[in-house]
């Protein structure tokens, strides 16, 4: 029987482990989403780059694995997170290559034709591990352009902190020149908004006339790491010495939910799209093993600034998943695998199964700005005003969903593909 917890409308293969989105791009009109993947087991290990493509952000095709670790190579222990840019028209993956251990990570390059299905690796890293003793780990390269010049950033830090965002001159994509930190914990806004030992998965991009930085927070707690959510910072980029300095004015939490980390943006014409990683919550190793899969990417979200606050909403293309009204009033049991709740007032979503109902999420919309709750298998994404929330809830064959709210203010759509 179909797994009622599996998110069928989202980006992920039918089995294996998935984490960070990587290499988001649009080439010749086709969207490409890559992601961290263990194709063999639903656990983190032997990390490759998985790949799916779409013409419209709705219909996704599972492509062959793009990058696999090469024994004895730069990435023998894993092809970790990174981005894709076009270098003289050639799609080029720029990723964290792990020879043996994370503290040895280097920046590796791989080049493809425009199908993004066939890849050729460079033999020499573009950047190596910093020699600065205050930074013991760097990873997750992200390339951007400022005033016509190409730069790159990597997240960095150590077990004892503080975190740092390292800047490179990437004019020559094959040989990066270190320019030192462009942001560190000495900045009072960054220190207050994004406390961590390592800033992971940095994304730096222009939006609505400002610069926005996203960082994922890696913290050490009781000799173990904690992934502590994602923060946004809005500010200015300023030339400083040979490099740049990012000066944030304000910041906040990107997603209020318990299952969102390591997002990446796609600059798509005049808009910015974002995917994040939603991990499993409260599932035992036995349950994950029996399911054969773990982790999923969120639906694509569109970003904007509202009074210097970063706002995420579902990409407008997602309305194309609506397949008619499921119920025209809240209350009746719902057993659909995927649906969307639209509420012009307060709304609650519950999952009923033994030992009793579970409140999954709640939101408050308005006629001018309705709240939206998108459910696909076990993945739940909620949008209300400037806030968004990503969580998980696991239906089984005997459970059902229930929507609570004013019948005049709530409508539920079935979601699916033709």
pLDDT in tens, 368-397: 999 999 999 999 999 999 999 999 999 999
Pair 328, 406: CB distance under 8 Å: no
4 occurs within a structural domain = no
Whether residues 245 and 285 share a domain: the answer is yes
Q: What is the DSSP letter of 329?
A: S
Number of H helices, E strands in the chain: 2, 31
Residue 280 lies in a domain: yes
Instruction: Report if residue 34 sits inside a domain.
Output: yes
User: What's the pLDDT at 150?
Assistant: 97
Task: Quote the percentage of the chain above a pLDDT of 90.
Answer: 88
Residue 395 within a domain = yes
What's the number of CA atoms in the CB half-sphere (13 Å) around residue 95? 33
Q: Which helix (H) or strand (E) holds 352?
A: strand 346-353
Q: At 400, phi and psi to the nearest 5?
A: -150, 155
Domain boundary among the residues 255, 280, 314 is at 314
Q: How many domains does the chain divide into?
A: 2
pLDDT of residue 328: 66
- In this structure, the answer to whether residues 141 and 59 fall within a common structural domain is yes
The alpha carbon dihedral of 256, 258, 264, 269 has a sign of: negative
Which residues make Cβ contacts (< 8 Å) with residue 377, sequence separation at least 6? 3, 4, 5, 6, 7, 8, 337, 338, 395
In a domain? residue 122: yes
The pLDDT tens digits of the residues spanning 43-62 come to 999 999 999 999 999 999 99
Residue 181 domain flag = yes
Nearest Cα to 105, choosing from 129, 127, 72, 77? Answer: 129
pLDDT at 331: 77
Distance CA 200, CA 18 (A): 17
**Domain carrying residue 123:** 16-314
Same-domain check for residues 302 and 391 = no
Rounded CA separation 402/359 (Å): 10
Domain boundary among 279, 295, 314: 314
Instruction: Identify whether residues 64 and 120 lie together within a single domain.
Output: yes
Q: Please name every residue paired with 376 in a beta bridge, in sequence order, or none if there are none.
A: 338, 379
User: Does pTM top 0.85 for this prediction?
Assistant: yes
Contact 93, 119 (CB under 8 A): yes
Instruction: Kindly state whether residues 206 and 349 are assigned to the same domain.
Output: no
Banded model confidence at residue 248, pLDDT cuts 50, 70, 90: very high
Q: Judge if 216 and 270 occupy the same domain.
A: yes
Do 300 and 351 lie in one domain? The reply is no
Q: What is the pLDDT of residues 269-285, one digit of tens each?
A: 999 999 999 999 999 99
pLDDT in tens, 183-207: 999 999 999 999 999 999 999 999 9
Answer yes or no: are the C-beta atoms of 36 and 80 closer than 8 Å.
yes
* Domain-embedded: residue 178: yes
Q: What is the CATH number of the domain that holds 257?
A: 2.115.10.20
Q: Is 320 strand, coil or helix?
A: helix
Task: Give the CATH number of the domain where residue 409 resides.
Answer: 2.60.120.560
Backbone angles phi, psi at 193, to 5 degrees: -85, -35
Please report whether residue 389 resides in a domain. yes
Length of the chain: 418
- Asked if 397 and 388 count as a contact pair (C-beta separation under 8 A), the reply is no
Q: Look at residue 164 in the predicted model and tell me its pLDDT.
A: 95
The rounded distance, in Å, linking the Cα atoms of 36 and 34 is 7
Instruction: Please give the average per-residue pLDDT across 124-130, as a whole number.
Output: 92
**What CA–CA distances, in Å, run from 239 to 146, 169, 178, 246, 356?**
10, 13, 15, 9, 58
Token pair of 253 as six digits: 């939490």
Q: Among 314, 341, 357, where does a domain finish?
A: 314
Q: Which residue has the tokens 């008619």?
A: 324
> Looking at residue 222, what is its pLDDT?
79
Residues 189 and 65 in one domain: yes
Same domain, 354 and 376: yes
Give the dihedral sign, CA 333/404/341/401.
negative
Q: What are the C-alpha distances in Å from 5 to residues 100, 169, 216, 241, 341? A: 35, 45, 26, 53, 18
Cβ–Cβ < 8 Å for 278, 293 = no
Q: What is the pLDDT of residues 293-329, one digit of tens each?
A: 999 999 999 999 999 999 999 999 999 999 999 876 6
**How many other β-carbons are positioned within 10 Å of the β-carbon of residue 387?**
18
Q: Assign 104 a pLDDT band (cuts: 50, 70, 90).
A: confident
Q: Are residues 232 and 343 in the same domain?
A: no
- Whether residue 308 sits in one domain with residue 330: no
Considering the domain architecture, whether residues 53 and 136 belong to the same structural domain is answered as: yes
d(CA 26, CA 130): 32
């Amino acid at each position: 029987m179909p797994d009622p917890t599996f998110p069928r409308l989202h980006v992920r293969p039918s089995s294996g482990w998935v984490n960070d989105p990587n290499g988001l791009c649009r080439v010749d009109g086709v969207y490409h989403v890559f992601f961290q993947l263990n194709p063999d087991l639903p656990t983190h290990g032997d990390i490759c780059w998985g790949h799916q493509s779409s013409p419209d952000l709705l219909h996704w095709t599972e492509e062959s694995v793009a990058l696999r670790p090469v024994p004895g190579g730069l990435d023998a222990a894993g092809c970790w997170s990174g981005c894709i840019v076009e270098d003289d028209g050639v799609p080029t993956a720029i990723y964290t290559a792990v020879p043996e251990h994370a503290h040895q990570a280097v920046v590796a390059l791989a080049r493809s034709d425009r199908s993004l299905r066939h890849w050729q690796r460079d033999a020499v890293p573009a950047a190596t591990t910093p020699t600065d003793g205050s930074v013991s780990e760097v990873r997750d390269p992200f390339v951007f352009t400022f005033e016509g010049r190409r730069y790159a950033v990597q997240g960095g830090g150590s077990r004892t902190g503080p975190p740092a965002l390292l800047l490179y001159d990437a004019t020559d994509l094959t040989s990066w020149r270190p320019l030192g930190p462009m942001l560190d914990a000495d900045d009072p806004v960054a220190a207050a908004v994004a406390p961590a030992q390592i800033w992971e998965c940095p994304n730096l991009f222009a939006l609505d006339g400002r610069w926005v930085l996203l960082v994922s927070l890696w913290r050490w707690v009781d000799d173990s790491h904690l992934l502590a959510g994602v923060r946004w910072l809005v500010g200015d980029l300023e030339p400083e010495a040979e490099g740049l300095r990012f000066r944030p004015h304000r910041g906040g939490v990107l997603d209020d939910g318990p299952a969102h980390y390591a997002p990446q943006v796609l600059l798509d014409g005049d808009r910015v799209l974002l995917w994040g990683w939603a991990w499993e919550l409260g599932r035992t190793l036995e349950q994950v093993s029996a399911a054969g899969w773990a982790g999923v990417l969120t639906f694509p979200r569109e970003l904007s600034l509202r009074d210097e606050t970063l706002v995420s909403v579902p990409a407008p293309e997602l309305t194309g998943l609506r397949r008619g009204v499921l119920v025209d009033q809240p209350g009746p049991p719902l057993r659909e695998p995927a649906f969307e709740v639209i509420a012009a007032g307060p709304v609650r979503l519950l999952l009923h199964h033994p030992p009793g109902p579970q409140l999954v999420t709640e939101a408050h919309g308005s006629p001018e700005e309705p709240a939206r709750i998108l459910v696909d298998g076990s993945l739940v994404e909620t949008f209300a005003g400037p806030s968004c929330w990503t969580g998980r809830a696991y239906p089984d064959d005997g459970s059902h969903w229930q929507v609570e709210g004013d019948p005049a203010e709530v409508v539920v759509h079935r979601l699916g593909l033709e």
